[in-house]
Amino acid sequence: MIKRIALVIQYDGSPFSGWQNQQNLITVQGTLEEKISELVQSGQVKAIAAGRTDSGVHASGQVVHFDSSSPIPVTKWASALNGRLPRSIRVLEAIRVPEDWHACYSATYRRYRYSIFNGCHPNLFLQNICWHKYRVKLDDNLMMHALNDLLGMHDFAAFQKAGSNRINSLTTVQEVSISRNGDILSIDIQASGFLYGMVRLLMGQLVAVGEKRLTLKEFKDRWRGGLRSEVKEAAPPHGLCLVRVGYKDKIFSQKKSFDTLPSFSLPILDSPEESSYLEN
């Protein structure tokens, strides 16, 4: 009997060329499918994800489904896979779902978080998970004003990389937030779906607003006018993480799927010498 199994997984995207299978490259999908196939011993298994993260992008709450006739109890899938997967991928939870349930198409939203380290000096332990912006202190109030304008359904063609196969560039941004914990900025964007490269292109423009290189009006004119040629800066992938995927019905336990990305806080140093930015 074929059963559909859904997983919540985490991965450090640093060693992977993104989620999706690519010939001669190591991907999250390829690695996960290989280990599932080893367990079921019945040919190649196809794993479908809620979101196709790019090379170097992380996930703390990615959702995946696959079909299997294996007798392995659903409660054993997480531990069985974690015993075979590399340390860069962890399965948090496994459940059985209806055969028509789909990790991607059944989702009502995806939530991404972009992390920025806004301190003056490099920090070894943050370099793989944060974008280090050290020249000026970012104005998070201006950045929040820019984010608020994105709420609702809009055409976000200005934030879409070439190569997308979508028939249009409409999507609905449901929630936005920005918080500063010392020198760490966390920017959350939740939407019904995301265009190819959307969050990184948006973050590049948002940081320009925070650095006051781009006015709020210029930011708005660029994306509202679909001026893709004017959007030339993309934030690096390592600051981006897929933190949550939502569904109409409660599928997974909140503790394991809601927000498992750790929070970081670094104090803003008080000494003028220590805390001065390069611009000053």
Known catalytic residue: 149? Answer: no
DSSP string computed for the chain: --EEEEEEEEE--TTSS-SS--TTS--HHHHHHHHHHHHH-SS----EESS-PPTT-EEEEEEEEEEE-----GGGHHHHHHTTS-TTEEEEEEEEE-TT--TTTTEEEEEEEEEEE--SS--GGGTTTSEE--SS---HHHHHHHHHTT-EEEE-GGG--TT---S--EEEEEEEEEEEEBTEEEEEEEES---TTHHHHHHHHHHHHHTTSS-HHHHHHHHHTT-GGG------GGGEEEEEEEESS--S-HHHHS--SPP--BPPP--HHHH--TT-
Name the active-site residue from 54, 139, 221, 249. 54
Measure the CA–CA gap between 242 and 9, rounded to whole angstroms. 11
Which residues are known to be catalytic? 54
